[in-house]
Amino acid sequence: MTERRIVVGLIVAAVGLASVILPWTFYTLILAIGLASIYEFNYLCAIKGQPLEFPVAVLGVCAYIAMAVFGVLHKWEGVLLAAIVIVAFAIGMYGEQKGYFARTAYTLLAVLYIGKLLTYFVFIRQVPDNGMALTFFVIVIIALTDTFGMLVGTMLGRHGLTRISPNKTVEGSVGSLAIVTLLAAAAAWVPALHVQWWQGAALGFATSIAAQIGDLVESAFKRDAGVKDAGAAIAGHGGVLDRFDSYLLGGVTFFATLHLLGLLQI
């Protein structure tokens, strides 16, 4: 199962990397991931007894990604969030009164967790001059974090990392973080990235930690709902949300680290 998961994970990463070459192909992939993830998040909420205001959540995710692509999110995000809250409250009045608060709260959480966080991959791709190279970089960092976490954990893992995800080990987590940080530092020698080795190491370190936390966050959602996977769309990985959970926090952390390191001129 571990070998199959690694192979499928690498194939998914390869498809994602290929899509980065053409911006609109990449944006379409981001939108597809967002829609599939919101569907699976709704499934988790439904198991809990309070599904999302699903049409509102779908429109919210689409709006977030579209506004990021067209460069207007920074100006209109406040209006978008207000609209999502108002519409969710209004539509919720026509459903069952029990669970009204939870439905509207879950809806806003879903849009922010999935729609908002996915926009950072759009922002990374839009970085002038080296946006494509940086997007390759962040995808590889997150994919390798997952891969080395499984490999090192399988070979050396002895101590459980957390009860939320029993299969993860301290050894796998630390080993993956160390390897990815070293590889990210070495990758900084790629001219297209425009980063120094210590900046590459910082990006790898911060993004790898965030990717692991993102994986655990989604595991916590699943444990709360009492299910093993959020879906079954990707062989060996469960659902789309199961595969891309680490990317949600990894992308925003990579973008924030670019800012902190002074690597963004926007």
How would you class 138 by CB atoms within 10 Å of its CB: exposed for 0-12, middle for 13-18, buried for 19 or more? Answer: buried
> Are 219 and 165 within 8 A, CB to CB?
yes
pLDDT band at 6 (very low <50, low <70, confident <90, very high): low
In the predicted model, is pLDDT for residue 8 greater than 80? no
Average pLDDT of the residues in 226-253 = 76
pLDDT band at 235 (very low <50, low <70, confident <90, very high): very low
- pLDDT averaged over every residue in the chain: 89
Asked whether residue 10 is domain-assigned, the answer is yes
Asked whether residue 265 is domain-assigned, the answer is no
| Number of domains composing the chain | 1
Average pLDDT of the residues in 103-113 = 92
Q: 39-87: per-residue pLDDT in tens?
A: 999 999 888 888 899 999 999 999 999 999 999 999 999 999 999 989 9
Asked whether residue 128 is domain-assigned, the answer is yes
Residue type at 77 in one-letter notation: E
Return the SS3 of 169.
strand
Q: How far apart are CA 52 and CA 38, in angstroms?
A: 9
Count of C-beta atoms within a 10 Å radius of residue 182: 14
Q: 160-173: per-residue pLDDT in tens?
A: 888 888 788 999 99
Q: 23-32: per-residue pLDDT in tens?
A: 999 999 999 9
Range of the domain at 11: 2-260
Alpha helix (H) residue ranges in the chain: 2-20, 23-47, 54-69, 73-92, 100-110, 117-125, 131-156, 170-187, 197-225, 240-260
Count of C-beta atoms within a 10 Å radius of residue 259: 10
Asked whether residue 91 is domain-assigned, the answer is yes
Tokens of 255: 């973008």
Asked whether residue 83 is domain-assigned, the answer is yes
Tokens of 108: 């806003």
> Are 192 and 133 within 8 A, CB to CB?
yes
How would you class 42 by CB atoms within 10 Å of its CB: exposed for 0-12, middle for 13-18, buried for 19 or more? Answer: buried
Asked whether residue 62 is domain-assigned, the answer is yes
Write down the pLDDT at residue 5. Answer: 65
Q: 129-171: per-residue pLDDT in tens?
A: 999 999 999 999 999 999 899 889 888 878 888 888 878 899 9
pLDDT band at 197 (very low <50, low <70, confident <90, very high): very high
Q: How far apart are the first and last CA of the chain?
A: 43
Average pLDDT of the residues in 195-206 = 97
Asked whether residue 96 is domain-assigned, the answer is yes
